[in-house]
Structure 1
Amino acid sequence: MAASHGLTIGYLAERTGLAVSAIRYYEAQGLVEPWRNTGGQRRFHRADLRRLSFIMIAQKFGFTLPEIRDFLKSLPGGRTPTKADWTNLSTAFRSHLDARIETLERLRDNLDGCIGCGCLSLPTCKLYNPDDAAAAKGQGPRYLMGDKPSETVNDGNSLPNDEI
């Protein structure tokens, strides 16, 4: 297909391995912006191959479509992104990816104790949370997410904060 006439949605699906319905969904979510030819058919820029590949990879890393949309907003509209444009996007993406990796490593390194003991009430558990003190810090497993307990455990077996 001649690039000057744009790429068909079928061609994009074939090249990326995505279903046509997925590409239409990404269009509806504002992740790709095709135009219509005189016959009313969608046409995509060749650069949309790279955008769709980025979307697929980012989703595999657990990023949501709104997060991916925010990353893609840094790319220019109306022209093919340059290497510099992609470098800027990848720099921002890398910092978010590094934070996600750090969280996953912390989870990996601390979760085995809880799975092994089966009890969240032992003073040595990394998730030990007397009186639900972590609830003030927000939803989810706050200590595995990086929050630190602000008080020592006092249940007769007081421990320093770094052992909680």
Structure 2
Amino acid sequence: MSDNNSPGQELLGIGQVSERTGVAKSALHYYEDIGLIHSTRSTGNQRRYPRHMLRRISLISVGSKLGIPLADIGHALEPVPMDTIPSEADWKRASTEWKRVLEHRRRAIEELEDRLMGCIGCGCLSMEACSLLNPEDALASQGAGARRLESGDSVS
């Protein structure tokens, strides 16, 4: 269903939005509950989304599939208005924030990869000097070998 408002403001039913974005209706409800998207209600109390919300929902979907927490996605999308058609400047501000979030995640992944590769690269299974799984060599007092794998104990 579409109302004849200004372009980009036409209202779409939840089924149409779900079909266009590939996002389940239940996910749309959840996104709305946590404030990531916004809808209005018809006289029959049915959700109606402005057409411009499709881009926002698609970005949420992509970010979520990439493992970005919804809170970070919401923060990145804060500069983008929900009640009016976003301008190019709105999207540029959001893009800058998205880039900052992605760069932070990339650095964290690279650091994890470096630590894992250092551990795997040494060929040692004892984890005696592993700063990732055995910080400060806490398991050395228990003897040689893969202590963590044998007992399931954790290092505190």
The answer as to 2:8 corresponding to 1:2 is no
CA distance in 2, matches of 1:129, 1:71: 34
Q: Is 2:37–2:82's contact at 8 Å kept on the other side of the alignment?
A: no
How far did residue 112 of structure 1 move?
Answer: 2.4
Letter matched to residue 76 of structure 1: P
How far did residue 106 of structure 1 move?
Answer: 2.1
CA distance in 2, matches of 1:75, 1:96: 16
CA distance in 2, matches of 1:118, 1:54: 42
Deviations 1:34-93 (A, max 9, x none): 001222211001111111111112112322122222222221242111121111001011
Aligned to 1:95: 100
Aligned to 2:154: none
CA distance in 1, matches of 2:91, 2:109: 26
CA distance in 1, matches of 2:126, 2:35: 45
What percent of counterpart residues are identical? 42
CA distance in 1, matches of 2:64, 2:106: 14
Aligned to 1:120: 127
TM-score by length of 2: 0.73
Task: Please list every run of 5 or more consecutive structure 1 residues that lacks an aligned counterpart in the other structure.
Answer: 133-164
Letter matched to residue 130 of structure 1: E
Aligned to 2:136: 130
Matches within 5 A, 1:24-35: 24-35=29-40
- Superposed CA RMSD in Å reads 2.0
CA distance in 1, matches of 2:55, 2:68: 17
The ranges of structure 1 where at least 4 consecutive aligned residues each deviate by more than 6 angstroms after the TM superposition are: none
